[in-house]
């Protein structure tokens, strides 16, 4: 799946191989010279030649949804609106625990590991940092592909917290 949202923002055009979006960006820069902005993960997007997607990036994976995805800006707006309704300060853009709290998922480490494995995580789950980063990125992709919401099966599963935050 090609994640190209360049037509949705007004900004300066940038050169090939420069970062065009990701965490910390408030306005995405538009790729020039027949390039597209490809997402490696939620934190790093790069201007690359059209059709030049690394094999380990989401744009090269056939397993992702072909449904149109929300832009990162639109997803941020949706999740920020959800978070603003809570009486708790959450750092959901950086923290898998806070993102899970926002979504009503069980935040316990063993449940996060089970969810990561269920979603296709293949690396060593004893490496908490990389497991958490991968799960955060995967959930953000799923949210983008589903209009800012998790599919119903998440809430019908063992991963949903029996004590969601009050909204």
Residue 64 has pLDDT above 60, yes or no: no
> Averaged over 18-29, what is the pLDDT?
70
- Mean pLDDT of the 120-125 span: 88
Using alpha carbons, select from 101, 77, 103, 81 the residue that is nearest to residue 90.
101
For 87-101, the pLDDT digits (tens) are 888 999 999 999 999
Angle formed by the axes of helices 128-145 and 109-118, nearest 10°? 60
pTM summary value: 0.57
Q: Between the CA of residue 51 and those of 1, 69, 116, what are the distances in Å? A: 11, 18, 29
- pLDDT score of 19 more than 70: yes
pLDDT digits (tens, 9 = 90+) for 129-164: 999 999 999 999 999 888 888 877 766 666 655 444
Q: What's the average model confidence in pLDDT over 96-125?
A: 89
Q: Per-residue pLDDT averaged across 82-91, rounded?
A: 86
Q: Grade residue 70 by pLDDT with cuts at 50, 70 and 90.
A: confident
Q: Would the pLDDT of 121 be above 70?
A: yes
Stretch among 3-12, 42-51, 115-124 having the lowest mean pLDDT: 3-12
């Amino acid at each position: 799946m090609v994640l190209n949202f360049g037509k949705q923002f007004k900004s300066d055009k940038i050169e090939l191989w420069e970062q065009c979006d990701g965490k910390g960006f408030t306005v995405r820069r538009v790729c020039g010279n027949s390039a597209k902005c490809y997402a490696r993960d939620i934190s790093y997007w790069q201007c690359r030649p059209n059709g030049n997607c690394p094999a380990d990036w989401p744009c090269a994976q056939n397993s992702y949804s072909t449904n149109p995805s929300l832009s990162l800006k639109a997803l941020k707006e949706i999740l920020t609106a959800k978070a603003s309704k809570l009486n708790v300060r959450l750092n959901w853009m950086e923290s898998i625990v806070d993102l899970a709290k926002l979504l009503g998922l069980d935040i316990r480490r063993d449940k996060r590991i089970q969810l990561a494995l269920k979603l296709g995580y293949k690396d060593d789950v004893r490496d908490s940092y990389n497991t958490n980063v991968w799960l955060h990125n995967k959930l953000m992709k799923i949210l983008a592909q589903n209009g800012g919401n998790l599919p119903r099966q998440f809430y019908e599963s063992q991963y949903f917290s029996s004590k969601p935050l009050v909204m």
